[in-house]
Amino acid sequence: MKKKPVKLKRSKTTATRKSTAVKKSTTARKSTAARKKPAVTKKPSAPKKPISKAGKKSVPKATSKFSPQAVNDELKRIDKDLIKLANRRAELTTKIIEKQPNPHHAVFDIHQDEALWQELEAMNSGPLPFHAIRGVYREILSSARHKIRSVRVAYLGPSYSFSHVAAIERFGNSADLVPVSTIATVFEEVNRGHANFGVVPIENSTDGRIVDTLDMFTRLPLRICGEVQLAIHHHLLASVPRGEIVEVYSKPQALSQCREWLARNMPQAQLREVTSTSTAAQLARDKPGAAAIASTQAAVQYGLQTVAERIEDNSNNITRFAVIGDEAAQPTGIDRTAVLLQIPHKPGALADSLSVFKRNKINLTWIESFPLKGTEMGYLFFIDFEGHFRDAKIKKAITEMERHAVRLEILGSYPRSEPIE
């Protein structure tokens, strides 16, 4: 008989050793792999959004960065600081003027004002336009100066005319601003000492020279000590709709500066000339079917609606106003000088006089002729040019002009200004 092969059984001890060895080998390999691969950190799962009873996910409400209450609190803090700083600025302005050798003269310092406007404009980064910043400072300075000296200023009225606006721009509302009926009266009030200064229109970019003003410079010995350039925007004001307007009132210059717009848009309306834009606004308020061409200030004052804005034909419509008095402005480096010149009535006389400006490299900015009154033949010339009469080359030019002149008067030197909107 064949013997069956006998299967040998491994002992549990041997199997256990082999299993242990296999596990150790596997563990070692995993450990090596773990060292080779960087550990990956699992991102924490986002918290689940709460579910409403209706089974829909509820969206949390967005919260604003500033609550209305927080904004109001911040505004109150800012207002408190602004009031404190404005009063402090006024106090220091008054102290500086009081320390000057002649405080009453220092109240009107156009040189300092122009320097301040330039500094403020350079500092202003918005969003407020510069004319708004200027308006705030103008009133602070006006109030501070009023404590030193009350300045009386005559202007071509009535109130809320463009001459009034120019006077406010230069002197502020704290000055004693006095409206008078004519340009001649402005000159007379200053010449008699009833007013410290006067404000009169001298030139418009659309209509040219203001004859009444130039005529008064030939009559009275007053000088120009400053200027204000206003961007003149005319508005059609009324208390009725445009379709019901049958008459348009304004002063001749305003009607002239808007004649093309009126012909296109208001052909049915009769144009009526009055002495001022303010008078026109009063008529528009009181008379049925009437409208006025006037300023936004007049609209506010007389409770009128603005039917059409900026109806002037020339969008760059600027009027230059002269500040007249007996003060002399100091050189600033950006000055203008005005002279009144009469020359012999003969060929070449004007050319000889004007050649002075070319030889001395002086920029001539304005010249107007004015016929002599009476039987004498000839013309007076009003001339503006860059520079101050105390500058060396200006002195030289004036001396040369005097050699050719029958009459030469320096009407004044003053800082050049920029147009104000």
pLDDT tens-digit readout, 343-385: 998 899 999 999 999 999 999 999 999 888 877 788 899 999 9
Quick one: 205 and 285 in the same domain?
A: no
Q: How confident is the model at residue 48 (pLDDT cuts 50, 70, 90)?
A: low
Q: Is residue 62 part of a domain?
A: no
Whole-angstrom distance, CA of residue 95 vs CA of residue 373: 50
Partners of 370 in beta bridges:
380
Query: Where does a domain end: 216, 231, 246?
Result: 231
Mean pLDDT of 185-204: 95
**How confident is the model at residue 377, as a pLDDT?**
81
**How confident is the model at residue 157, as a pLDDT?**
87
**How confident is the model at residue 8, as a pLDDT?**
45
- Residue 395 clears pLDDT 80, i.e. is over it: yes
Mean pLDDT of 316-329: 90
What does the pLDDT look like over 12-34, one tens digit per residue? 444 444 444 444 445 445 444 44
Mean pLDDT computed over every residue of the chain = 84
% of the chain at pLDDT higher than 90: 55
Whole-angstrom distance, CA of residue 331 vs CA of residue 334: 8
Q: Is residue 10 part of a domain?
A: no
**How confident is the model at residue 98, as a pLDDT?**
85
Looking at per-residue pLDDT, the higher value among 400 and 376 belongs to 400
Q: How confident is the model at residue 261 (pLDDT cuts 50, 70, 90)?
A: very high
Question: What residues make up the domain containing 294?
Answer: 235-311
- Residue 267 clears pLDDT 70, i.e. is over it: yes
Whole-angstrom distance, CA of residue 98 vs CA of residue 331: 22
- The C-alpha R_g of the chain, in whole angstroms, comes to 41
Mean pLDDT of 380-391: 94
**How confident is the model at residue 332, as a pLDDT?**
86
Quick one: 239 and 340 in the same domain?
A: no
- Residue 104 clears pLDDT 60, i.e. is over it: yes
Query: Where does a domain end: 210, 231, 252?
Result: 231
User: In this structure, are residues 338 and 324 in contact, taking their beta carbons and an 8 Å threshold?
Assistant: no
Q: Is residue 222 part of a domain?
A: yes
Quick one: 226 and 240 in the same domain?
A: no
Q: How confident is the model at residue 1 (pLDDT cuts 50, 70, 90)?
A: very low
Mean pLDDT of 229-253: 94
Quick one: 338 and 291 in the same domain?
A: no
Partners of 386 in beta bridges:
336
- Residue 153 clears pLDDT 90, i.e. is over it: yes
Quick one: 265 and 372 in the same domain?
A: no
Whole-angstrom distance, CA of residue 381 vs CA of residue 296: 36
Query: Where does a domain end: 185, 209, 231?
Result: 231
Quick one: 110 and 136 in the same domain?
A: yes
Report how far Cα 266 is from the mean position of its chain's Cα atoms: 31
What does the pLDDT look like over 128-150, one tens digit per residue? 988 889 889 888 988 888 888 88
Neighbours of 402 (CB within 10 A): 13
Quick one: 205 and 148 in the same domain?
A: yes
Q: Is residue 171 part of a domain?
A: yes
Amino acid at position 393, single letter? K
Quick one: 286 and 398 in the same domain?
A: no
**How confident is the model at residue 14, as a pLDDT?**
47
Whole-angstrom distance, CA of residue 190 vs CA of residue 105: 16
- Residue 407 clears pLDDT 50, i.e. is over it: yes
Looking at per-residue pLDDT, the higher value among 272 and 99 belongs to 272
Quick one: 121 and 179 in the same domain?
A: yes
Looking at per-residue pLDDT, the higher value among 203 and 55 belongs to 203
Q: Is residue 109 part of a domain?
A: yes
Q: How far lies 76's CA from each of 64, 87, 90, 91, in Å?
A: 20, 17, 21, 23
Whole-angstrom distance, CA of residue 357 vs CA of residue 365: 11
Question: What's the number of domains the chain is made of?
Answer: 3
User: In this structure, are residues 382 and 368 in contact, taking their beta carbons and an 8 Å threshold?
Assistant: yes
**Closest listed residue to residue 224, CA positions, set 389, 394, 362:** 389
CATH label of the domain that carries residue 375? 3.30.70.260
Q: Is residue 384 part of a domain?
A: yes
Whole-angstrom distance, CA of residue 176 vs CA of residue 153: 6
Among the listed ranges 43-52, 84-93, 134-143, which one has the minimum average pLDDT value? 43-52
User: What is the 8-class DSSP label of residue 174?
Assistant: T
- Residue 107 clears pLDDT 90, i.e. is over it: no
- Residue 84 clears pLDDT 50, i.e. is over it: yes
Mean pLDDT of 242-268: 94
Q: How confident is the model at residue 45 (pLDDT cuts 50, 70, 90)?
A: low
Quick one: 217 and 270 in the same domain?
A: no
Q: Is residue 173 part of a domain?
A: yes
Quick one: 105 and 169 in the same domain?
A: yes
E strand residue ranges, 281-378:
290-294, 305-308, 318-325, 335-342, 364-371
Quick one: 373 and 280 in the same domain?
A: no
E strand residue ranges, 144-218:
152-156, 176-180, 197-204, 208-209
Is the previous residue joined to 419 through a cis bond, with omega within 30 degrees of 0? no
Whole-angstrom distance, CA of residue 337 vs CA of residue 100: 26
Partners of 200 in beta bridges:
322
Q: Is residue 77 part of a domain?
A: no
CATH label of the domain that carries residue 99? 3.40.190.10
Amino acid at position 103, single letter? P
Looking at per-residue pLDDT, the higher value among 107 and 12 belongs to 107
